[in-house]
Amino acid sequence: MAQQRHCHFQKPSGVEMEDMEDGNEGMLTDVGFMFDACLEKVTCRFDYGADVSVLLTYATEEPGALQSGHYVWPAAPALCEYLESHRELIPGGNVVELGAGCGLTGLAIAQLRPDATVIFTDHDPGVLKVIEHNAGQQERVQAACLTQSLRWGPDGAAEVAALEKLQSQANKLCTTDLIVGSDVIYAREVVPLLFWTVDRLLTRDPHGVFLMCSSFGYDDETEKEIDVQSAKYALNREIVRCTLNEKGSRIQQFTRR
């Protein structure tokens, strides 16, 4: 299990904004970074085995939809622990973290495989700034860490192209060898968008892998939608670990058929 120690708390500062009308949820999500200063944050160390020691700054409490990326959701430490004991899954090429949040999983990967390139993606510019801060405060040798704004689904097509360009500039390869995501499915409606993006990212590498970790079970409709999208994009779906009945997590692996 991860150990947290030497935690330093940061008190939030006040932010004043005019009230916004109802029905602007999408706009609010896009400007969630404006609320960053309202969050109380802490910097802790997450250790996994002898080779991973990640310093991470994140929100101390679950902050709600606007700032969800500033919180360490339970699936992220679980995926770090799994990858530390299955590091053969981490390639020396390009690794993309979807919905990266504070970047814990990607930073652990960066320490486990310093010869890789890790690209952290999120739609919230405030979250990307947090990731850049976290990547810059590490004390251990790590892979090249880059950030890229990314929306899931067809609306993010231009951003996928920008990500591929970023990959080619980093190591002359525009293939995505491994995709990781933790607690990235929160509603059935996001599943088609998520898998559209996964398919696009894996297009150039038939041997690419998508690892997805969740800290809670999905309802039947969401499970069916994952199966539908897996079939649509010719992906094999395999549960490689499940401890949900022990209040743990479930890790799924998706590969091309």
183 belongs to a structural domain? yes
Number of domains in the chain: 1
For residues 211 and 89, what is the distance between their CA atoms, to the nearest angstrom? 10
**Average of pLDDT values for 245-254?**
96
Distance CA 239, CA 249 (A): 11
Give the model confidence (pLDDT) of 137-163 as tens digits: 999 999 999 999 999 999 999 999 999
User: What is the DSSP secondary-structure string of 156-216?
Assistant: GHHHHHHHHHHHHHHHS-----EEEEES---STTHHHHHHHHHHHHHTT-TT-EEEEEESS
User: Residue 154 domain-assigned?
Assistant: yes
For residue 178, give the CATH number of its domain.
Answer: 3.40.50.150
95-145 pLDDT, tens digit each: 999 999 999 999 999 999 999 999 999 999 989 999 999 999 999 999 999
Integer-rounded Cα radius of gyration of the chain: 18
Query: 13 and 22 in contact (C-beta within 8 Å)?
Result: no
What average pLDDT score do residues 175-200 get? 97
pLDDT of residue 30: 44
- Judged by average pLDDT, the poorest of 11-15, 208-212, 220-224, 248-252 is 11-15
DSSP state of 65: S
Q: What is the pLDDT of residues 206-217, one digit of tens each?
A: 899 999 999 999
Distance of CA 203 to the CA centre of its chain: 20
Query: Does any domain span residue 91?
Result: yes
Q: What is the pLDDT of residues 2-48, one digit of tens each?
A: 444 455 544 443 333 333 344 444 433 444 444 455 667 889 999 99
The verdict on residue 12 lying in a domain is no
Judge whether residue 90 has pLDDT over 70: yes
Domain annotation covers residue 236: yes
Quote the pLDDT of residue 20.
33
Where in the sequence is the domain holding 231, given as residue range(s)? 68-256
Long-range contacts of 8-13 (CB under 8 A, 24+ apart): 8/42, 8/43, 9/40, 9/41, 9/42, 9/60, 10/40, 10/41, 10/42, 10/43, 10/57, 11/40, 12/37, 12/38, 12/39, 12/40, 12/41, 13/37, 13/38
Task: Let me know if residue 195 belongs to a domain.
Answer: yes
**Is residue 38 a part of any domain in this protein?**
no
- CB neighbour burial string for 107-138, b if at least 16 within 10 angstroms, e if fewer: bbbbbbbeebbbbbbbbbebbbebbeebbeeb
Structural domain contains residue 28: no
Pick from 100, 106, 7, 111: which is nearest to 53 by CA? 111
Cβ atoms of 123 and 30 within 8 Å: the answer is yes
* Whole-number percent of the chain with pLDDT over 90: 72
Average pLDDT over residues 198-210: 94
